[in-house]
Amino acid sequence: GQNIDQPTEMTATEGAIVQINCTYQTSGFNGLFWYQQHAGEAPTFLSYNVLDGLEEKGRFSSFLSRSKGYSYLLLKELQMKDSASYLCAVRVDRGSTLGRLYFGRGTQLTVWP
């Protein structure tokens, strides 16, 4: 089975920086995704890391360390609209099945004014 852990809840204030961590233990690992999900809506893609290192996209950055089974999502200059659930998902390639995702339980981020 896959073991994916992320904190259940986090809070931060507008304008601040927050880091959401995700640890995983899995076989067949071939990349890690971060998705954002607002209440009552579908998940939307934020980032994908397959190699070690930091990927930056505007206010959001994602980091991966394959040897440590660790990733984080960094959100800068927080805005109220960033209040959402952030889902960590690992991609597993096994046999003829490629691209299957296993999701963590999500981290509910609340941004206060």
Partner 1 sequence: NAGVTQTPKFRVLKTGQSMTLLCAQDMNHEYMYWYRQDPGMGLRLIHYSVGEGTTAKGEVPDGYNVSRLKKQNFLLGLESAAPSQTSVYFCASSFLWDRASYEQYFGPGTRLTVT
Least distance (Å) between residue 18 CB and partner 1: 20
Does residue number 94 form part of the binding site for partner 1 (CB under 8 A)? no
Least distance (Å) between residue 71 CB and partner 1: 15
> Could you give the CA distance from residue 50 to residue 99 in angstroms, rounded to a whole number?
12
Q: Which of 78, 87, 90, 111 binds partner 1 (CB under 8 A)?
A: 87
Least distance (Å) between residue 16 CB and partner 1: 26
Does residue number 17 form part of the binding site for partner 1 (CB under 8 A)? no
Give the tokens for residue 69. Answer: 């089974």
3 state SS for the chain? CCEEECCCEEEEECCCCEEEEEEEECCCEEEEEEEEECCCCCCEEEEEECCCEEEEECCEEEEEECCCCEEEEEECCCCHHHCEEEEEEEEEEECCEEEEEEECCCEEEEEEC
Does residue number 63 form part of the binding site for partner 1 (CB under 8 A)? no
Q: Which of 42, 51, 58, 81 binds partner 1 (CB under 8 A)?
A: 42
Does residue number 27 form part of the binding site for partner 1 (CB under 8 A)? no
Site residues (vs partner 1, CB under 8 A) = 8, 31, 33, 41-45, 48, 50, 87, 89, 91, 96-106
